[in-house]
């Protein structure tokens, strides 16, 4: 499968699952503002790793997504015209937390002025 086609499929799966997750009526997902960040479909289209982020994260969101995997897969099958509808594997995307940690570290190493303990204004 060409890289261009694989990228298009990944984007389509991401978009459709993002909509399908918002349509789920599960308080564990809606209360935590869960969103699909990206999807990576295997070359044979049998498995899709779906990366998600959530405000609180936790096991409740993971359990809710795993429990709704069948309904989400069905929604994906009806919305996309793929030969094979991939099995969905949900992975927590911790890019936001990683970015916040980097920003905090950068704030800590910012040089201080004149020994007064005041930080430079950007």
The domain limits of the chain are: 3-94
pLDDT tens by residue, 25-34? 888 887 778 8
Instruction: Give the Cα separation of 13 and 3 in Å (integer).
Output: 15
pLDDT tens by residue, 87-115? 999 998 877 777 778 888 888 887 654 44
**How many other CB atoms are found less than 10 A from the CB of residue 64?**
21
Is CATH 3.40.190.10 what the domain over 3-94 is classified as, yes or no?
no
What predicted TM-score, i.e. pTM, was given to this entire model?
0.75
């Amino acid at each position: 499968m060409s890289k261009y086609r694989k990228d298009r499929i990944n984007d389509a799966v991401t978009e459709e699952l993002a909509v399908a997750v918002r349509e789920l009526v599960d308080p564990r997902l809606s209360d935590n503002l869960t969103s699909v960040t990206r999807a990576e479909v295997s070359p044979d289209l049998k498995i899709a790793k779906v990366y998600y982020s959530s405000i609180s994260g936790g096991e409740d969101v993971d359990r809710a997504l795993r429990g709704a995997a069948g309904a989400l897969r069905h929604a994906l099958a009806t919305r996309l015209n793929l030969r094979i509808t991939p099995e969905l594997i949900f992975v927590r995307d911790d890019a936001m937390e990683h970015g916040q940690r980097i920003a905090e570290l950068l704030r800590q190493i910012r040089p201080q002025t004149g020994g007064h303990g005041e930080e430079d204004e950007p």
